[in-house]
Structures are given as C-alpha cells and as structure tokens.
C-alpha cells in the first residue's frame, strides 16, 4: 500500500470519526438554578471541556438570564435533564419567516425623489416622524435590532452602526438576506449616503444576527436578548415571530423589561386573528401593518394583544448594497428628460441593464392591437385593463418587442407579476405620463430597464415594527427616565384611532411620533 493511499485512508477515518462524534450535535437552551448558577459556571469553566461533566462541543453562559446555550450530543440529553441543577432544557428551533423570501422576490418600488431630496418617505410622514425631528432625532439612544444582520458599509447606516454580533454561527454579522438592513434603515438611517432617513436618524444601531434564510433561531434570539441587556440598550426591535413561546424566551423578555429595555415586535403576516410571539407578550409592543391609505394590510394579524399600527406596505428602506432591483424609465415628455416613478414586474428581466427604443402605443395589448404595427426592436406601450398582464406581455413578445411599458388605468401604481419569467424588461408607470406618451404623434424614445440599487420597498409587519421602535427611541431620547411601561403607555395613548376597529384590528391606531415625544417631555411624566 502506497504512502499516499495510507494518508487518504487515514484522512477518511478521521472524517468518519468526526461525523460519528458530531453528527448528532444539537443546540439547547439550558435554564440553570439561579441560586447555583455562578458556582456551576465557574466549575464548568475550570473543566477542560464539556458541561456539568458531560461531553459538549461548546457552552455559552448567559449571566443575566442564568442560562447556557449548550451544543452537545443528543444521546446525552436525558442525563442533562435529570440533573438537579437544571430547571429546563429546550432544543433550538428554527422559526420560519416566509416574509423574507416572499417580499425580497417581489416587485420593488423605487422612489428616487426621496433619496435625491432627502425627503421623508410616506411612512415617516404618516407617523409624523418628520415633525418630531424638530424636537429630537434620537440622540444618545441605542437600538438593538435582532434580525438577519446588516450591511455595515451601507452609506446610510455606516455612521449609525456601533457594533454587531452573530448568534447563529460564525463571527460575521453581514446581512445575507436583506431583511435586517431594511428594518435597520427604517429605525435610524441618517441620510448621509443617498438621503434615506429613518425614524430616529441620530440613534445608534447594534445588530444581533439571529436569523438566516431558513428562519430565526430560538437560541440565537435568547442570546441576542442577553447581549442587549448586557449592552444596556434602550430599545429592541424584533421583526420576527412565531406561534409559540418557549419558557426560556419568556424569561428573557421578562429580564429585558426588568433591565429597562423597551421591546417592540411584529404582529405577524398570516392575516389571522392571532398575534404572534413575542408580540403577544404583555410587556412587548405588538405592531400591525398599514397600507398607505391607513387601512389594515390584509396580511396583518390582529387580536386583543395588538397595541398599535404603523406603515407596513411599500416601505422604502435600505438593503445590502447592490441587491435591490430598481426600475428606470427616462423620457422627454416635452419639458426635458425626466425619470418616471415606476414599478418592476415580478418575473421580468433579471439582467441588470437598460434598453433604449422607440415607443409604439398598442392600446390594451390585445392580439388585434398589434395588427399592422412593427414592434421589432421597439418598446410596446400598453394600457392596463381588460386582459391579464401576462397576456399583454406575451402578445408583445410575439410581436418582437424588446421591452414593455404598461401604464395604469387609475391614479397611482400597483405591483404586478407575470406567470412565467420573461427575458425582456416589463415596468409600469403612472396613468398621466402614460396617457401623454400614448397621445404623442411623433416618434418618442424611452430608456427603461432594471438596475441594481441599495434600496428597496418591502411589505410586512416586519416593516411596521421598526417604525414603532424608532418612535420608542425618540421617546427615550426626549425623556430617558421613563420606564418601558411608561414608554409603551406614551406611544399607545398618543395614537390616532382608526376604524372600524372590529375585534381590535387596529389596536390603539396609528402611532404619532411628534405627539409621543411631546407627551414624554411633559412634567407629569418626569
């Protein structure tokens, strides 16, 4: 047997041994007897490894919670559960968060005007954050976001980020999903990059990465809460949730309340009359989602535990640089070249580039509308209505159009989708410019396409929760002496009621940052 073969077999034996030893390794949250916690921690750390005499790959101690996160062989679980020093043992669970995948793949609404002019987004205006900035912008407040991580180099967040930790494996807290960067921007983007402003643009950001594309780790969340208590943060935002609450998590949220931390969480996106955990906990502000017209978003969960509402649809915020997808439509309507507000159709061209071509108006995009018109290498301008978007686009492709521009048949924009992917750009523009283009009697060229962006619009109670976390940061900045319960009362008592509030679908109503800050500053609360 040759030396190379011996080495290969030896390496294989080591790998097989490692798989045998660690194949069943799982993470557990172990709640220890508080009276004996310190002595047990010291005794365990003095050993050469393991946990309470058992073999463990790792053990992390959570001093403020009297818990440990232990990674060990499942076969030793019964021995661990039978120890008198142990109060409870819970296996790590991954809580699915379908909103991550659903909205990161849907159409993005790009509002270039907001960025160019550093204007407040519709969400900031809806909660009067822009008016509250005349009093405070969140100076001195530290907000912990427990999420998928953050792009620490994002131009509108880099000046706000203080530190981050990864509690789901590894040391890098970079956002590989996009969700955490988006929620962080809503809380406190400072506009230093491209003009995006969050609710509390002078607050400081701490990021606890507790979620991955598959969902959020229960052991990660508990460790994130422990870290927030240790760091003495003022506010925590959890744009996550699920149908159950473990005893360890319940203890962790109680500890956060005792430590003076205001906790805000998303109500859930299942559209049912049941609030998700942790939002359903009494000491957590439960936040539902509103449409731009301040009606309840159809996906937003409700119930007796719902506290307040905030913007949760078409919420424009930061995403990891270059991961956003933004539509570009540039045309001369008679007064110079201008960019038109638009939406990108889901399943339209994924390639990041733009095309330039002559516009040809083809009515509603029916088969007969293309008769006698040469669309080869040109852009089809189609009015919304009567037939499905997919049929309009299919007819345009058969006519050899290289792009499709659909204009709405009513004011505003909607997000559309196609049944199957197409290899040409398909965008929607508003009714007025579309009609103006359709009425032109001379040849008009349009530049259109999909380009990379550092920003995106998303929807979900995940987007509503950081609005309220930002308001809590403003309140804390205005009056640092308020307890978490007082902060919650200030925010709830200054809401604008919405109706019809059947079955508490709106809670106290939409939050008002300006009114909350003024209330916090009043003498009776000092």
Residue 83 confidence (pLDDT): 81
**Distances, alpha carbon 330 to alpha carbons 202, 356, 361, 405, 451, in Å:** 35, 9, 17, 12, 13
Contact 317, 311 (CB under 8 A): no
Per-residue pLDDT of the chain (526 residues; tens, 9 = 90+): 455 434 433 333 333 333 334 445 899 999 998 888 888 888 777 666 667 777 777 889 999 999 999 998 888 888 877 788 899 999 999 998 754 433 333 333 445 556 666 778 899 999 999 999 999 999 999 999 999 999 999 999 999 999 999 999 888 999 999 999 999 999 999 999 888 999 999 999 999 999 998 899 999 999 999 999 999 999 999 999 999 998 999 999 999 999 999 999 999 999 999 999 999 999 999 999 999 999 999 999 999 999 999 999 889 899 999 988 778 899 988 788 888 888 888 777 656 788 999 999 999 999 999 999 999 999 999 999 999 999 999 999 999 999 999 999 998 887 777 878 888 999 999 999 999 999 987 889 999 988 888 988 888 999 999 999 999 999 999 999 999 999 999 999 999 999 999 999 999 999 999 999 999 998 454 4
Strands (E), 291-425: 308-311, 315-318, 324-332, 337-339, 342-344, 353-361, 379-383, 403-407
CATH fold of 25-91 reads Alpha-Beta Plaits (3.30.70)
- Could you give the 3-state DSSP secondary structure of residue 326? strand
Burial of 83: CB neighbours in 10 Å, binned 0-12, 13-18, 19+: middle
- CATH class of the 98-319+458-525 domain in this structure: alpha beta
Q: Which two tokens mark 300?
A: 């937003």
Query: What strands, in cross-sheet order, belong to the sheet with 284-290?
Result: 161-166, 204-209, 142-147, 235-238, 262-266, 284-290, 308-311
Distances (CA, A) of 383 to 192, 194, 375, 403: 39, 33, 16, 14
Q: Provide the pLDDT for residue 101.
A: 37
The first and second tokens of residue 277, run together, are: 């955990």
Query: What was the pLDDT predicted at 45?
Result: 74
Element (H, E) at 99: helix 98-104
Domain ranges of the chain: 25-91, 98-319+458-525, 324-453
pLDDT recorded at residue 416:
73
pLDDT at position 415 is: 72
Q: Which two tokens stand for residue 45?
A: 């750390």
Please calculate the CA angle 69-72-77 and round it to the nearest 5 degrees.
95
Nearest to 240 by CA among 170, 183, 314: 183
- As a dihedral over the C-alpha atoms of residue 480, residue 482, residue 485, residue 488, rounded to 10 degrees, the angle is -60
Q: What is residue 524's three-state secondary structure?
A: helix
Q: Phi/psi zone of residue 155: left (φ > 0), alpha (ψ -120 to 50 degrees), beta?
A: alpha
Residue 186: partners with Cβ closer than 8 Å, 6 or more residues away: 123, 198, 199, 315, 317, 463, 466, 467, 470
At the topology level of CATH, where does 324-453 sit? Answer: Glucose Oxidase; domain 1 (3.50.30)
């Amino acid at each position: 047997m040759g030396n190379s073969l011996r080495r290969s077999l030896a390496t294989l034996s080591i790998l097989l041994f490692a798989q045998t030893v660690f194949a069943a390794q799982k993470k557990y949250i172990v709640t220890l007897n508080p009276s004996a916690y310190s002595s047990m921690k010291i005794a365990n750390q003095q050993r050469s490894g393991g946990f309470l005499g058992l073999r463990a790959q790792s053990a992390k101690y959570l001093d403020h919670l009297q818990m440990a996160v232990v990674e060990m062989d499942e076969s030793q679980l019964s021995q661990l559960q039978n120890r008198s020093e142990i109060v409870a043992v819970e296996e790590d669970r991954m809580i699915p968060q379908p909103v991550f995948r659903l909205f990161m793949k849907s159409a993005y609404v790009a509002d270039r005007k907001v960025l160019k002019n550093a204007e407040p987004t519709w969400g900031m205006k809806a909660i009067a954050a822009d008016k509250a900035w005349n009093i405070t912008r969140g100076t001195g407040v530290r907000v912990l976001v427990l999420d998928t991580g953050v792009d620490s180099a994002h131009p509108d967040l880099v000046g706000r980020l203080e530190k981050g930790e990864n509690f789901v494996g590894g040391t890098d807290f970079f956002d590989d999903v996009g969700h955490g960067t988006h929620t962080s921007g809503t809380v406190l983007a400072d506009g230093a990059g491209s003009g995006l402003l969050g609710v509390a643009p002078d607050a400081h950001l701490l990021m606890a990465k507790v979620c991955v594309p598959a969902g959020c780790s229960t052991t990660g969340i508990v460790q994130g809460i422990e870290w927030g208590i240790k760091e003495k943060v003022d506010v925590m935002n959890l744009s996550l949730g699920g149908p159950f609450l473990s005893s360890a998590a319940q203890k962790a949220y109680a500890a956060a309340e005792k430590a003076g931390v205001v906790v805000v969480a998303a109500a859930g996106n299942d559209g049912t009359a049941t609030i998700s955990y942790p939002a359903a906990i009494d000491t957590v502000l439960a936040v539902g989602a509103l449409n731009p017209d301040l009606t309840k978003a159809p996906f937003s969960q409700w119930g007796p535990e719902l506290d307040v509402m905030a913007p949760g649809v078409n919420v424009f915020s930061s995403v990891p640089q270059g991961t956003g997808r933004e539509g570009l439509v540039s045309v001369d309507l008679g007064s110079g070249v201008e960019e038109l507000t638009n939406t990108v159709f889901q399943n339209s061209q994924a390639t990041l580039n733009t095309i330039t071509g002559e516009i040809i108006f083809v009515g509603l995009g029916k088969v007969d509308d293309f008769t006698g018109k040469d669309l080869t290498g040109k852009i089809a301008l189609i009015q919304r209505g009567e037939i499905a978007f997919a049929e309009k686009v299919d007819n345009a492709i058969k006519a050899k159009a290289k792009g499709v521009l659909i204009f709405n048949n009513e004011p505003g924009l909607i997000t559309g989708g196609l049944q199957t992917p197409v290899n040409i750009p398909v965008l929607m523009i508003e009714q007025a410019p579309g009609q103006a283009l359709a009425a032109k009697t001379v040849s008009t060229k349009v530049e259109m396409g999909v380009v990379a962006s550092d920003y995106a619009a998303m929807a979900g109670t995940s987007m509503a929760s950081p609005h309220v976390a930002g308001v809590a940061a403003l309140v804390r900045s205005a009056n640092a002496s308020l307890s978490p319960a007082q902060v919650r009362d200030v925010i709830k008592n200054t809401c604008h009621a919405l109706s019809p509030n059947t079955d508490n679908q709106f809670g106290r109503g939409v939050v008002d940052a300006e009114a909350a800050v003024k209330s916090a500053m009043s003498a009776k609360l000092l």
